[in-house]
Chain A
Amino acid sequence: MTDDVSRLLEQLGQPDLEYRVFADKVETPGYWPIFRLIHAHPALARLPGAQRRSYPAERAAPSGEGWSGADRRVGGPGKLFRRYGEAQAPAAPEPEAPSDDIRGLLRRLSE
């Protein structure tokens, strides 16, 4: 606890108050194995207008530490989901070109 916070809590007469520093907004978001499942899903390739940007933490994929459960058992992050994708998923259709943006759509609706 920083000095200014403990001083403030004392002033408020709340020395027992639970206190935690919340993460900075600009911190790199964590990457969870389920994200790979979602990103790889062929149905989502049909999402028109979505940017399907590559996710920063995905590009900087962790090297294996911190991965748990099924992912580690199959030898690394994402292996399980990749295997699932190959075995069961039909070929992903080409992502459609973004048809329109939300403003365009709403403009059309209000006309």
Chain B
Amino acid sequence: MIVLFHSPKGGVGTSAVAANLALVLAERGVFVTAVDLTGQGALALCLGDSSGVIDRSRQAEGDAAMIVAGVRVMAPGADRTAAEIVAAIQSHEDEDGDGVVIVDIGSGDRHALDLLLPLAALRLCVLTPDPAALAALPLVYRDVQATRDDRTFFLLNRVDDRLRLGRDIATMLRGLLGDRLLGTIRRDEAVGEALAMLETLASFAPASAALADFRAIAGRLVPERADAAQPERGIA
């Protein structure tokens, strides 16, 4: 299945959430392909890969995907046509019937979102409990895609109940979104620290609160498989 990650608001953690869900799904034995359409290379970094940052020539390009922490990473170059991107994503989906293709789409990239929505099983919209993200919420439903709306779900990221405004906004969103809210992820310094350490969250901070939240959401997306095998680790 193809899962799109897109938020109308930038900086809410869409890439971090996409990458960490890719990791915890791989941990469950799911065959995961992560496609970075943001052009930032942030997805590979969030997976704990340093090569894209240190040597951009080694960044995953086109179909020549690399494996990072058990997740296959693809970053189609900016020169790719829409049709080529769609074909590449579909080829990854077809190969592995029960695999998951996670696509990170930049917040401003309506074009990629519209292009891929018809192919996707789910679109996960990341929000944070702050007024700017709240104000961007109506944009999700700006152009009603009647046939696709039933696939849009929300994730509330960087939740911190110690802060009054954030707590109030989170409560309001839980009421507003109801079943559409697939899960919440606590604000957790370990998310950034793992990035800085060029490690995955699971290896850097196994007791991380955010990691537990990512695992709970992964469990909702893909039920535990009896034959779950540990994916291979390391960079291929």
Whether, in the assembled complex, A35 has its beta carbon less than 8 Å from a beta carbon of chain B, the answer is: yes
- If over half of B's interface residues share one DSSP class (helix, strand or loop), that class is named, otherwise mixed; here it is helix
Segment of A5-13, A69-77, A99-107 in the binding face: A99-107
A106 touches B150 (CB 8 A): no
List the B side residues contacting A22 at CB < 8 Å: 161-162
B135 touches A55 (CB 8 A): no
B150 touches A99 (CB 8 A): yes
B122 touches A49 (CB 8 A): no
A28 to chain B, nearest CB (A): 9
Interface string of A77-111 (1 = CB under 8 A from B): 00000000000000000000011111001100110
How big is chain B's contact interface, by range? 35 or more
Within 8 A of B (CB), among A18-72: 22-23, 25, 29-32, 34-35, 37-39, 41, 43-44, 46-55
List the A side residues contacting B220 at CB < 8 Å: 102, 106
In the assembled complex, the Cα of A50 lies from the Cα of B179 at a distance in Å of: 6
With A35-B172, A109-B1, A109-B121 known as contacts, the answer to whether A50 contacts B151 (CB < 8 A) is: no
With A43-B142, A48-B149, A109-B1 known as contacts, the answer to whether A23 contacts B164 (CB < 8 A) is: yes
In the assembled complex, the Cα of A100 lies from the Cα of B149 at a distance in Å of: 11
- A residues contacting the other copy or chain, number (CB 8 A): 34
Give me the interface of B with A, judged by CB distance under 8 Å: 1, 121-122, 131, 134-135, 137-142, 144, 149-151, 153, 161-162, 164-165, 167-169, 171-172, 175-180, 182, 220-223
Write 11 A-B pairs (CB below 8 A) sorted by A numbering. A23-B167, A30-B165, A38-B176, A39-B176, A46-B141, A49-B179, A52-B176, A99-B150, A100-B150, A102-B153, A102-B220
